[in-house]
Amino acid sequence: MAGSKYAYVRHFELPDPLLPATFIVCRLDGHSFHRFSDEHAFAKPNDERALKLMDRAAQSLMTEYKDIVLGFGESDEFSFLLRKTTNLYNRRHAKILTTLTSFFTSCYVFHWPQYFPDTPLRYPPSFDGRIVLYPNEREVRDYFSWRQADTHINNLYNTVFWALVQQGAQTTTEAHATLRGTLSKAKHEILFSRFRINYNEIFPRFRKGSVIVWEQIPDAPHDIGNSQDMVSTQDPSGDNAVENSEPSNDKDATSSSQPKQKQKLQVKPRTTIEIMHCDIIGDEFWQTRPYLLSG
């Protein structure tokens, strides 16, 4: 397209690249979801339908953008980890943030009828987003540990609060006053002594949040003719296994010649998205999935 005298305005569009060789974490958060949950009569303290809907939107996002290797969600929030080497949208900050936020929001609306078939949307939900860069694995792990610890803290408070309101006949003001300044141990005691609720037996989805991850499923080796997932690699000896094309003077050389070296076959691991409700603060989750932080 030919330029025009108005094209100079493009110079006001400043580049906004994200620092290379860093992990990208994009956190999406429901905007004014206290009002949204009230308007749509979400169950308290946790509405499993709403949490499953968040998981579905996150799963759809990760399916569309495979550079997202991990998602963690709680309540109306989801955090996504993009691999360190990603070049998605040339690592343009605004492009990545706006696209992921808008796609997640549209998926939330699109799948709403499946999880709330009897509750039509009263108005459009919205999500805000932010991007944070982390230089190494330790900060990434600490970030997700922080979010899961926050899940526990918030859910414990909300579980006790709504037990006091729904079963203890307190007003919301009275319930807040009862819990003001209490430590975790006291909250556990209130739940068990007054309502016979063992917090540790509550569904892990509520206590630990949702972990969505690309899990590797390695295939068993099979014939190259039947495989579309095979990748040939050189023999460890370093030989290229190229057949000698020079003719031999020995008539029997063809039959007695050494067979050409076979190329080793390496299976590309298949992957599938899994939704789990597990601990990600300890080492086991990360040690069994080193590929999440390998870049």
pLDDT in tens, 104-150: 999 999 999 999 999 999 999 999 999 999 999 999 999 999 999 99
Report the CATH number at residue 93.
Answer: 3.30.70.3000
Q: Tell me which amino acid residue 168 is.
A: G
Give, in order, the Cα–Cα distances in Å from 78 to each of 7, 104, 209, 243. Answer: 39, 10, 10, 55
Residue length of the chain: 295
Taking the C-alpha atoms of residue 252 and residue 82, their distance in angstroms, rounded to an integer, is 59
Number of domains in the chain: 1
Residue 202, in any domain of the structure: no
- 32 marked as binding residue: yes
Residue 184, in any domain of the structure: no
- 16 marked as binding residue: no
Residue 7, in any domain of the structure: no
User: pTM of the full predicted structure?
Assistant: 0.81
- 33 marked as binding residue: yes
Residue with tokens 């409700």: 277
Residue 178 has pLDDT above 50, yes or no: yes
Residue 40, in any domain of the structure: yes
130's CB contacts (< 8 A; 6+ apart) are 26, 27, 97
What pLDDT score does 221 carry?
52
Residue 43, in any domain of the structure: yes
Residue 196, in any domain of the structure: no
- 4 marked as binding residue: no
- 34 marked as binding residue: yes
Residue 174, in any domain of the structure: no
Q: Which alpha helices (DSSP H) does 65-136 contain, by range? A: 93-115
Range with the lowest mean pLDDT among 67-81, 154-168, 260-274? 260-274
Residue 205, in any domain of the structure: no
Q: Tell me which amino acid residue 224 is.
A: I
Range with the lowest mean pLDDT among 116-120, 184-188, 206-210, 245-249? 245-249
Q: What does pLDDT average to over the chain?
A: 86
Domain limits at 54?
16-148+210-249+262-292
